[in-house]
Amino acid sequence: MGIEFEDVHKTLTRKGDQTHLFSRVNFSIPDDRAGIIFAPPGAGKTSLARLASGNIPPDRGRIRRDGKVSFPVGSQNVFNNILTPRENIAFLCRVYGFSAREVVDFVCDFADLGDVIDRRTSSLDKDSRSRLQFTLPYAMPFDHYVVDETLTGGREPFRAKCEALVAYRMQSAGFLVVASTPKTISKSWDHVFVLANMRVTEVASVEAAMALVKDMPAIPHKKVRVRDQRPDENEDDGFDI
C-alpha cells in the first residue's frame, strides 16, 4: 500500500483566516516506489508533505501508511534548539522506534559533527546544521521517506556522500518528494504527479508535469475570515504552506 490519500481535504487557520488547501485529494505511492509531486509556488507543497508524514491530520478523508514514514527530510522544525543534537536524535528515535545509540553514532560519523553533537542545536553554524538535517532522516531505516523539495543538502563533499546514501535507501524504501523546482528531475521516478487547483493528478512523465507547472502563477488560495474561533488541530503553527 505504501502511502495512500483517499478523498483528503485540508484547511489551515491563521489569525482567524481559513485557507483552503486541498479538496478530494487522491493518490498513492506503492511500497518500494519513488514518486514526485510537482507544485507551483503557494499550492500547498509543504502542507502536503506534512500530511503525508503525519505531522498534521486531514480535515476529512483518510491517509493510509504502511510501515514507518519519516518526518519531512531536511526540516528544521523537528529540532528543539535548546537541546543538543544528541538529545534531539535520542528523542526522535524514541518517537519512531529506532536505536538511539546506533543512529547517534551514524549521524556523528557521517555528518562529521565532532563535539558539536553535544552543544546546543541553536549554536550550530549553517553548514553543520545542514549536515545534521540531511543525515538524520536517512540514518533511520524508514519504510517510506517524505521529502519537502530537496533530497540532499550541504556543501561538497558531504552532498555527494548524501546522494549516495539516498541511492542506498531508495533500493529498499519508498520515496515521496514534493517539489516546486526542477532540481530533482535527474532522478528516476516511478510515479509523477502535479498539485494544482487543490488536487493531485498523475501525469505520464516529468516533462509533462514541468510543462503544466512552469506557467502556473503562485496560487491565491481562497481565504475565509472566521471570528471567535477556538484554536484546534487546524490552527497553523507558523510553518510554510
Q: What is the pLDDT of residues 116-128, one digit of tens each?
A: 999 999 999 999 9
In terms of Cα–Cα distance, which of 19, 40, 45 is closest to 221? 19
pLDDT confidence of residue 60: 96
Domains of the chain, residue spans? 1-69+143-158+169-229, 71-141
Residues 133, 144, 4, 189: is their CA dihedral positive or negative?
positive
Helix, strand, or coil here: 190? coil
Rg (CA), the chain: 18
Question: What is the per-residue pLDDT for 42?
Answer: 83
> How many CB atoms sit inside 10 A of residue 217's CB?
8
- Does 51 have pLDDT greater than 60? yes
Mean pLDDT of the chain: 88
Predicted TM-score (pTM) of this structure? 0.87
pLDDT given at position 17: 83
1-69+143-158+169-229 is a CATH 3.40.50.300 domain? yes
- The CA–CA distances, whole Å, from 34 to 130, 191, 236 equal 24, 7, 29
